[in-house]
Amino acid sequence: MSVGSTELTKRGGAGFAGAGAGNCVVLKVGGASTGGVAEAVAAIAEPVCVVHGAGPQISEEMAKRGLAPEFVNGRRVTTAAVLEIVCESFAAVNAAVCDAIGRRAVPLSGDEIGLEALHVAELGFVGDPIPSAPPAVLEALDAGLVPVVSPLARGPLNVNADEMASALAVGIGATRISFLTDVAGVYRDGELVHSIEAARAETLVDDGVFDGGIVPKLLAAAIAARSGIAADIGVTAVVA
């Protein structure tokens, strides 16, 4: 989906036009934490690109259709039947996020704007994202708008939203990536961690200290940090 320059100008807001992607923030929101997205966007002074997930919605719809979710290292195994649900759920969440943000939001589906990924055949219709800078995202940022991106790649391929957010942040040269979650940050042994080195995070993941949904967030934040992008998961800073 591409947005024409006239429409971008009509929907733009004061203070952001022409800012470009170089000093932008990528904000990743999960399907369960979209309720605070409008406030989170409003609190960021820099241009913002939002990448969202839809995990809870996908799992709920799969259950309704009698399909059991299967995950490998935090990534959903995606058959053709599951991919249909994934696309529908992403579209619904994207619309909800855009409604919450308001008229500056630009809905973008990753497969339509040219996001690329390497096919991970053993997981079905799943991809490992490749850093890229889709023109539709850059145009929206330049016009002072908020691109809201669904984590699909060409194919379409289902891409973990955390991984896609990190790849997009690297591709557009963002200065920061922030993972909005429904918890305060990263916890270890019941204690809130305020800072963790990327290498340490990866080691702890490999050792099985962390599991579940925090794993792809930590690994995605580590990749971003290694690329010179400030990364945080709630109040937890992931540093190079």
| Single pTM value for the model | 0.88
Number of domains in the chain: 1
Asked if 47 contacts 137 with a C-beta cutoff of 8 angstroms, the reply is no
Of 86 and 19, the one with more pLDDT: 86
The percent helix, strand, coil of the chain (3-state, each to 5) is 40, 25, 35
Instruction: Write down the residue that tokens 């195994």 correspond to.
Output: 77
Q: What is the pLDDT of residues 187-224, one digit of tens each?
A: 999 999 999 999 999 999 999 999 888 998 999 999 99
Range of the domain at 124: 5-12+19-182
In this structure, the dihedral spanned by the alpha carbons of residues 44, 39, 225 and 89, taken in order and rounded to 10 degrees, is -130
Nearest to 76 by CA among 212, 222, 238: 212
Give me the CATH number covering residue 120. 3.40.1160.10
As a whole number, mean pLDDT of residues 109-117 equals 96
Q: Which residues have a Cβ under 8 Å from the Cβ of 195 and sit 6 or more positions away? A: 236, 237, 238, 239
Q: Does the residue 209 lie in any domain? A: no
Judge whether residue 18 has pLDDT over 50: no
Joined together, the tokens standing for residue 133 give 């800078």
Which amino acid makes up residue 46?
E
The candidate with the shortest Cα–Cα distance to 162, out of 68, 76, 100, is 76
188: in domain: no
Q: Which whole number is the average pLDDT over 48-67?
A: 95
Residue 191 belongs to a domain: no
Which helix or strand (DSSP H or E) is residue 17 part of? none
Residue 221 resides in a domain: no
**Would you say residue 236 lies in a domain?**
no
Backbone φ and ψ for 117, nearest 5 degrees, come out as -155, 150
In the structure encoding, which two tokens stand for residue 220, read together?
């995605």
